[in-house]
Amino acid sequence: MSSPLQFLNHSNPGRLATAQSKGPHKAKPLELRHLSAYTSRKNSPGACFAPPLEVVPTRNPITCNKRAADPVHPDLAGLLVKYKNLLAELRNLRNKLFIKETSLQEMKNELESYKENNVQQSFQIMSLKDDIKDLEELIASLTRIKSLKNTNIQSLERGNWDLTRRIIELENLLRVHLIERKKADEKVDLLEKKLAGVNRFTPYMSMKEQEDSFMTKRAEGLQQEVRMLTKQLEKQYHHCEETAGESSDTEEKYKEQKRPLKRLEGKIAINDLFPGRLDLDTNKENSQTKISQMEHGKTFKQLEKDNKQETLLNIQQNLKVVTTQRLEEKIHKLQKQLSDLKLSNKNMKTQLTRVNVLKLVDFRETIMKMLGFNMKTADKKIINHLRLIIQVYEASDKSKIASACETG
């Protein structure tokens, strides 16, 4: 590459020769300066683009002015100025390029850090989604357990209602039985009083039983005959009333049937009078004792019947009392079971609430640690941040799917 000084020297050979003849020892420093500047520019980073910037002026300013005003090369100064301007622009462009390269490198580093953060956030989102799925499964299982417990509670409440109704019915039955028992006690008191009155006559009756046994048997036989005849008379009388037209026949029959009655009455009177001839007072006493014996026999029969009824009532009452006691014991047991079930249900509910609270607290702590929040941050901020992360992740998934579809 030829320097501009060489070009000037070739343009005016006469002057160059005179200059060389005049000062051969002075040309060397010019060349040395030119070479040193050229080598320094060559070693600099922009040496390939930048030729020597400055032309070292000669020691003769007159010769330089003459050369500049040389008519053969009129555009040399303008070219030098343009060359200098272009070099300055080139330096500016190089500086700009260097700045842009540094900024581009910084952008690349930031992009890599963003990619790494994006990968970490994607892993975090995947783990959060897994945690959300686990929580949803937990919530579903808890809802099932809650529904089962609600059904159990409803069934227990129904059983409780049935038991309360049964208790009310048993209480009503107990009241009825208590009233009946009071009535039976009153009857027992009355019968005891009657027995006390009857027991007063028992010694007198035991003494007269042996003496009056024959008379009582005979009197009983006659009384039975009288009863039979009276029954026949009553039947005939009813038949007579039905057949009122045949009055004459019925009257004769009535008279005929009355005759044996009169005969029997006469026999009874004769039999009564025959021992009366011997001892009238004894017959009267015997008759009175017979009447009293008959009355006492009736009272004994009634008492036996009443005693049988009372025993039956007592047996029934005892059975009812036993059944009521058993039912009351069953009711107490069922009430205890109900109370135990209610307590266990309450304990289960409290345990479930505690477990849910602990799980929510653990989930919140894990999210806070993953996202790098403080423990005092509000839940709204965390939820909003999670929504943003999920939206970004969904957008990146959509872009990946779209790019895969385009490439496919």
For 226-284, write each residue's pLDDT tens digit: 677 667 666 665 665 565 555 455 456 555 655 555 555 555 555 444 444 445 555 55
Distance CA 311, CA 291 (A): 30
Tell me what percent of the residues of the chain surpass a pLDDT of 70. 55
Q: Work out how many domains the chain is built from and give that number.
A: 2
Please say if the pLDDT value at position 366 is more than 50.
Answer: yes
Express each pLDDT in 126-159 by its tens digit. Answer: 888 888 888 888 888 888 888 888 888 888 888 8
Distance CA 127, CA 119 (A): 12
Instruction: Tell me, yes or no, whether 180 and 318 share the same domain.
Output: yes
3-state SS of 164-190 is HHHHHHHHHHHHHHHHHHHHHHHHHHH
Which pLDDT value is given to residue 4? Answer: 41
Instruction: Tell me, yes or no, whether 86 and 193 share the same domain.
Output: no
| Collapsed DSSP state (helix, strand, coil) of residue 226 | helix
Split at pLDDT 50, 70, 90, the class of 199 is low
Residue 181 within any structural domain of the chain: yes
Instruction: Tell me, yes or no, whether 320 and 195 share the same domain.
Output: yes
Residue 15 within any structural domain of the chain: yes
Which own/partner contact pairs does 394-399 have at CB distance under 8 Å and 24+ positions apart?
A: 396/118, 396/122
Residue 62 within any structural domain of the chain: yes
Split at pLDDT 50, 70, 90, the class of 74 is low
Tokens of 29: 């420093």
Contact yes or no for 194/299 (Cβ under 8 A) = yes
Instruction: Tell me, yes or no, whether 106 and 210 share the same domain.
Output: no
- What single-letter DSSP state applies at residue 243? T
H or E segment at 351? helix 280-371
Which pLDDT value is given to residue 102? Answer: 94
What's the whole-number average pLDDT of the chain?
Answer: 69
Out of 112, 139, 156, pick the residue that ends a domain: 112
Instruction: Tell me, yes or no, whether 184 and 97 share the same domain.
Output: no
Split at pLDDT 50, 70, 90, the class of 39 is very low
Range of 62-76, 91-105, 127-141 with top mean pLDDT: 91-105
Range of 94-103, 170-179, 195-204, 318-327 with top mean pLDDT: 94-103
Range of 36-50, 97-111, 282-296, 308-322 with top mean pLDDT: 97-111
Domain of residue 221: give its range. 169-326
- Give the CA count within 13 Å in the CB-facing half-sphere of 153: 13
Which residue type, as a one-letter code, is found at position 348?
Answer: M
Which pLDDT value is given to residue 109? Answer: 94
Residue 364 within any structural domain of the chain: no
Residue 307 within any structural domain of the chain: yes
Please say if the pLDDT value at position 90 is more than 90.
Answer: yes
Tokens of 384: 């909003």
Distance CA 27, CA 56 (A): 12
Distance CA 19, CA 62 (A): 13
- How much is the average pLDDT of 298-312? 69
Split at pLDDT 50, 70, 90, the class of 44 is very low
Burial classification of residue 205, based on how many CB atoms lie within 10 Å of its CB (0-12 exposed, 13-18 middle, 19 or more buried): middle
The more confident residue out of 408 and 405 is: 405
Out of 81, 112, 143, pick the residue that ends a domain: 112
Residue 36 within any structural domain of the chain: yes
Quote the crossing angle between the two packed helices 247-278 and 280-371, to the nearest 10°. 110
Instruction: Tell me, yes or no, whether 96 and 218 share the same domain.
Output: no
Please say if the pLDDT value at position 348 is more than 60.
Answer: yes
Out of 326, 354, 374, pick the residue that ends a domain: 326
Contact yes or no for 268/221 (Cβ under 8 A) = no
- How much is the average pLDDT of 101-120? 92
